[in-house]
Structure 1
């Protein structure tokens, strides 16, 4: 699991840079200001969580189910959150908004919140373990 977390973190980070540049240059002419802001939100959240995944991959051994669930919440959460935003903004800019993606975004956000809660619990276990 540790390797998967590090690899996905690297992939998400790479995609953030690519999509951020794509949004800043190619999509500026195609998207409205609000669509561009939404797209950028998806990119930012993906980068934040790419960094969190890499830090988690370095910090945790992923021997407990709590650590594994945390990682899956981040991995699936950002997939649902960011990619649904990309789909919504892209389809809206093309005049054919895919409405089914709307409820997926908050589901991804909920998984990210759960991931952060589990991260806090996992970090507190480390702190309790190393403090006498």
Structure 2
């Protein structure tokens, strides 16, 4: 039950963060970043939302199967995906450091 609550909370917080970062990108970074970097930033936001929804789904499923280790692994991998994938895209867009991209 604790894992379910953790992933539900992580999903909700990441969804809120994705919306805030998306709004920041749309309003605060427009005109400050080149169009290609802004598109990369928006891709990071888009996948951040997908990961947040995945975390919420993992949390909901974990409520019904609290001992399922595959669900816990899925949740941790979703969190890692937010940091590694979306985080690298955010940094790439803001800093322009191409080594952060694939």
TM-score using structure 1 length: 0.68
In the alignment, what sits opposite 2:16?
14
In structure 2, list runs of 5 or more residues that go unmatched. Answer: none
Mapping of 1:27-42 within 5 angstroms?
Answer: 27-42=29-44
User: How far apart in 1 are the matches of 2:37 and 2:92?
Assistant: 9
Deviates more, 1:56-65 or 1:12-21: 56-65
In the alignment, what sits opposite 2:101?
102
In the alignment, what sits opposite 2:70?
66
TM-score using structure 2 length: 0.87
User: How far apart in 2 are the matches of 1:62 and 1:55?
Assistant: 13
In structure 1, list runs of 5 or more residues that go unmatched. Answer: 104-132
What do the CA deviations read for 1:88-132 (whole angstroms, capped 9, x no partner)? 11111xxxx273x335xxxxxxxxxxxxxxxxxxxxxxxxxxxxx
| Paired residues, number | 98
User: How far apart in 2 are the matches of 1:67 and 1:9?
Assistant: 14
Whether the aligned pair in 1 keeps the contact of 2:15 and 2:48 (CA below 8 Å) is yes
Larger Rg: 1
Aligned CA-pair RMSD: 1.4
In the alignment, what sits opposite 1:90?
94
Whether the aligned pair in 1 keeps the contact of 2:58 and 2:74 (CA below 8 Å) is no
In the alignment, what sits opposite 1:4?
6
Which structure's relative contact order is higher, taking Cα pairs within 8 Å and 6+ residues apart? Answer: 2
